[in-house]
Structure 1
């Protein structure tokens, strides 16, 4: 049977990266051959994100690009934006197949349904009807990554006032521990040296299971198994750092010292309007405790600017808090009103120019903090997971356990996915520069 060509482009979070690999594997089993999204294909799949209006715009751009590349191809838009805005996507005749949060995992079957741009196949189940989370089998990352993502949780019960995720992914659902361990073993067997445990609301893992479990208990189970040399945790909310979790993480060498803790705002009034259940002081105390326990850990934060009602004084509270805390990098986002969320209708919208100005101020702080943290490792030996070739010929790029990006000459033959030790010699604009591995 002649194979057909499929191109997949993924927007958004680490969970989407894992899910794209699940979809790609199912398509390959149905005799589809993966190709680049930049060229000709028989099927284009846009795995969408709906967190910001910019992500939704990117989804539509990619769909139009796919149609230009091959006007006769099947084009599927799947995931969060398809779940949230399927009526608009259908009316715009942007795709032949529109698959929601649940249906995308059965993409190989749905694309066999006859459809056209004018009359797309639309399969979008309500999020309240999404079944329990099960281990969507994947043998490796089909997105070309040397680190494996493992989705152990999906959905969210938090309903922050600016966020559409509960409306696109449904309530929190956890992958049972035995299934987590099974998937983790599979990644180790095929050679991954680092696995990232990820979820939409990772800290809620186990709360929906019977009996209930928690993330610290899951890490105990992983520690008793054949785990990879590195396990990295994706984002964890400020109030989910229990004493048990802190104790567990601080006693094992295989958990990467890299923790991402969303802040969003350093002003209590803005946090309350966002429906974020902590105060700026609680957040500050956690970051300081993490720095005390993990002196060389990367500590990152999401910060939103321009939220309705964020006066200059309230913004300065955020600026000053971020400035004084021992964070090592920032992800700065302008507020994006999403239809159907309470924040979309809140008064006190901040003008776009002012929002951009505030974002630049925070981004400058983030750049400085990242550089200061990196420079602490000048002259030191670090272990690097080799990820890819660098733009400079004969050089490689990799990541340390504490999330530093490192460039170094290839030296002896080194394969992507291996872990090597290199000596840092200087700091670049965004990366550390190291000597070749020993033996080169």
Structure 2
């Protein structure tokens, strides 16, 4: 069953949320719902399960957090104190950290205890936090299952289950982990269920109907697939000219805070070393960067100390960094959905931004699919040929590897149920 379309603005004050949630919303300066919130929240507050299609940056996190908190505040716990009443599962470390950051001000003075677990760092401290008791447990699949198998918590008393970016769960090989978690919760009819995904594909809907209670589909109209405040453009360039063009684009656009997306770690390495060799401060964020270093890089980027962040697609989802002026696709993504997620890192929170794609011989074949999915013909950047850096310096030398370190490949690392009990699982 699909929800009716309603483009009229909906004020949060019109929604039957508990008083404390209304006060917290007002304190954050929120007045009116985004489209996904306006469609999903009234249905969720009526008690319906939601299968929602929404891109990152559209407000879906606030939608499922408000629905979850409201239900928990209106109902009594079904289990002993300290056991999770809600579980929110997302595929990457950055996304669960952001969900937790969004949840804290909304949960203020509600008495709800929030827990956050993810791989790569803080194993013992996270374990102790969950053991001390939580009401809302937010985490990546591997770390959740690890602690569950140690009997640190039970899922028998979960009253709300949330899956965020369900399509990404499939992409990263987490779907068996998700089924493991959901099958240990109460039956779907005994809990509220909210699923959000960039696309409601057949595989996502199959998951929804298997583990939810007759969910209502809520979809954003196709014209809202890409942010309307993102100015998109492209440059056709030969493989050998990509680096000079990239340096030239950065020099000519006046980019203040830029994310550059690449398809492989090898490309990230050469891009970072080339930019640094040309006096452009840049660092790489990829899946194998240790968690502590990842957080330090993101903090430097958010503060403006770091001008350019080179990223593989592991960083394309779940990052909410205000003030990103430019997104540059050094490599066109192979998946059209990834293009939308990448350019969604700019023009956030009502701001404007630019997305520039370098279309080379190796990756240009993705362009027709990207344009069809986004529903636009991406214009060519005028006079871009004159921007190419003619005086580009060579890349900095590659730093020596530490003893025992192996150079990684460029492919995506997938995690399945077989590695669930290890500390290093679910690093993404």
Fold shared by both chains (TM-score > 0.5) = no
Which structure features the higher share of strand residues? 1
TM-score w.r.t. structure 2 length? Answer: 0.27
Higher relative contact order (CA 8 A, sep 6+): 2
TM-score by length of 1: 0.27
